[in-house]
Structure 1
């Protein structure tokens, strides 16, 4: 119970931090990269999970019909054309295979159990759907120790293992950003531009944040093991696209649990 309380407090601390000047600066840097990747999403429905409601503005050029935003509590301004719902990442009030894409924007950091959250997100994504994860890098030298004590962090290496177990194929390589905070150098420092250019070209795994994009296949696999058999995909009973707030709320108590791998490596 203490762990759950810490993670709940972590959501509030994370939302408050993103409202600060350093948080707004990072959000600005992330938005262009998020928008570029979310533009690849298509279909009927996209689900965004994270502590910053305004971040869903990165979906403005996304070719999906409906957008949902979910968080443990609603903070910040409501975005136009986005349906908001209060939900925990580990128990989403959505039918299996009901969304075409999910964005985890710093949502694993405050999840009570990141492994359970990943399984739940996998459950709601249709085969062929995409998952975009934006997460703090625990291997960076970024001094956010006070904030990170209230959050969980998952390394890019561990996340890639989980994605493989859950039946995802990564699109491209992991992208790292926010080296400035990692190096603790001012933007006017004479060495900054040289170091920044080199780090961005080499993509050294030291950036304060990383992004990973992956596509869900119909079967889950574990590297080096036989393919996990899964039940045939079925048309979900809930038509999420075009859902109203009332429709989403009426379905909130009927989360469908899926089968599949029950154990993921701990971070």
Structure 2
């Protein structure tokens, strides 16, 4: 499928519906993640890092508009140097999603964050993925990954699940009027069928075995030093007095 056709889909009513929900979730999550470097891999035409307050943001991908033109599976980024990585449907449209996750794990610092979005194959959106009439169209031509499988992949890489949710419970009709008629499904989705949302989000944190970040307790250290100073001075003063007394005694004896 050409880039032009992909862009046309995003400009459609259904594409705007998807982007609206995705932008809302990413805005909410990335705003509370702090650090120095944040990377978005894929979909550079949308700025899902716009509310993140890290000093340095950039996008990576082979698409036009990416800040860094590189394959997601082979990132020219230093290991342990990135605080946040977001993957908006990046895994589904690449031949080797495992390699991408390994690269994300490599470039993330310990306790670094990754936020992933994907299409749920066990949903009304996933049905379109299996239909012969739509299988070659974007986004139904992607390799949809089940949420449970993605969690297993992340656990194998020592990621810990920190949050997530599902959205887009309304059937993916191209006509906006039909989606509006079924908008009640969106409102009741989280309560009545929480696992059947068309799109899922997953937030995970990288952990390192046997590693624990210990911050210096500067306050207690300073207090301890203050308490030690007078004691040291008293000891020195006492020793000086004893030495001076001994000298005086020696002087008196010599005079006698």
TM-score by length of 1: 0.68
**Distance change (3 Å), C-alpha of 1:205 and 1:158:** same
- Alignment partner, residue 70 of structure 1: 60
* Greater Rg over alpha carbons, structure: 2
Provide Cα deviations, 1:107-154, integer angstroms capped at 9, x if missing partner: 112222011111111111111110000111122121253335632221
Equivalent in 99, 105, 112 of residue 95 of structure 2:
112
Shift in Å, 1:36? 0.3
Determine helix, strand or coil for the equivalent of 2:143.
coil
Structure 2: unaligned runs, 5 residues or longer: 130-134, 212-256
Unaligned runs of 5+ residues in structure 1 are 1-8, 76-82, 220-228, 231-267
Structure 1 consecutive aligned stretches of length 4 or more whose deviation exceeds 4 Å: 9-16, 182-185
Match of 1:159?
150
Please say if 1:209 is aligned against 2:199: yes
2:71 maps to what in 1? 88
Q: With CA pairs under 8 Å and 6+ residues apart, which has the higher RCO, 1 or 2?
A: 1
1:32 match: 24
- Counting only pairs closer than 5 Å after superposition, residues 5-84 of structure 1 correspond to structure 2 as 14-53=6-45, 55-56=46-47, 58-75=48-65, 84=67
> Alpha-carbon deviations, 1:16-71, whole Å to 9, x = none?
53233321221012111110011122111000012242x21x32321211001011
**TM-score, length of structure 2 as denominator length:** 0.70
CA distance in 1, matches of 2:202, 2:2: 22
Question: Contact conserved, 1:90 with 1:112, CA < 8 A, in 2?
Answer: no
Cα drift, residue 85 of structure 1 = 0.9
Asked if the contact 2:41–2:72 (Cα under 8 Å) also holds between the matched residues in 1, the reply is yes
Count of paired positions: 203
Distance 1:127 1:166, change over 3 A: same
User: 1:201–1:52: structure 2 CA closer, same or farther, 3 Å change rule?
Assistant: farther
Counterpart secondary structure, 1:211: strand
Contact 2:160 2:206 (C-alpha < 8 Å) held by counterparts: yes
For residue 83 of structure 2, what is the aligned residue in structure 1? 100
Could you tell me which of 117, 123, 147 is aligned with 1:134? 117
SS at match of 1:63: coil
- Aligned-partner Cα distance in 1 for 2:8–2:173: 24
RMSD: 2.8
Distance 1:10 1:45 in 2: 32
SS at structure 2 position matched to 1:28: helix
Larger helix percent: 2
